[in-house]
């Protein structure tokens, strides 16, 4: 958990911010003045859009490869927040090398995929 002065100065760039994401995350983001949404997926050609943020919030299809993390580092990003359980798209070695903290959702809705699969079968 990020506390104290680091929390108070947190400015978050939220990538892959579709309309539903903005709707649900706006109350949270209002607690971090200067934070903003980026509609595009995060990748090597959009990573620069984090300008002014010291944290980024990524979704499941966003790219956090070494080149993206390097761009984040150059822009002053120190924290990568994942709003998904998986972190296979994050170069953890590069994040550690660059001194970045990576936080993720460790588990959520563990039955959702199975329930969805059964629901689809039931429609046949």
Q: What is the pTM (predicted TM-score) of this model? A: 0.83
Chain segment 7-55, per-residue pLDDT in tens: 568 999 999 999 999 999 999 899 999 999 999 999 999 999 999 999 9
Among all chains, which residue has been given the structure tokens 């859009």? 49
- 77: Cβ–Cβ under 8 A, 6 or more apart, which residues? 13, 50, 53, 54, 55, 56, 100
Q: In the chain, which ranges are continuous DSSP H helix? A: 4-8, 19-29, 66-75, 92-97, 112-122
The helix (run of H) or strand (run of E) holding residue 55 is strand 55-58
In the predicted model, is pLDDT for residue 57 greater than 90?
Answer: yes
Q: What are phi and psi of 51, to 5 degrees?
A: -45, 125
- 16: Cβ–Cβ under 8 A, 6 or more apart, which residues? 38, 39, 40, 41, 42, 58, 59, 61, 62
C-alpha to C-alpha distance for 88 and 117, rounded to whole angstroms: 23
Q: How far is CA 69 from the centre of its chain?
A: 12
Looking at residue 114, its pLDDT comes to 77
């Amino acid at each position: 958990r990020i506390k104290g002065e680091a929390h108070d100065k947190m400015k978050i760039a939220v990538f892959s911010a579709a309309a539903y994401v903005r709707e649900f995350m706006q109350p949270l983001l209002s607690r971090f003045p200067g934070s903003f949404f980026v509609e595009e997926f995060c990748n090597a050609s959009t990573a620069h859009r984090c300008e002014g943020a010291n944290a980024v919030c990524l979704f499941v299809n966003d790219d956090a490869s070494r080149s993206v993390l390097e761009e984040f580092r150059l822009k002053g990003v120190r924290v990568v927040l994942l709003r998904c359980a998986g972190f296979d798209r994050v170069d953890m070695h590069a994040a550690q090398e660059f001194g970045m903290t990576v936080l993720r959702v460790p588990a959520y809705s563990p039955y959702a995929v199975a329930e969805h699969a059964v629901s689809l079968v039931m429609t046949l």
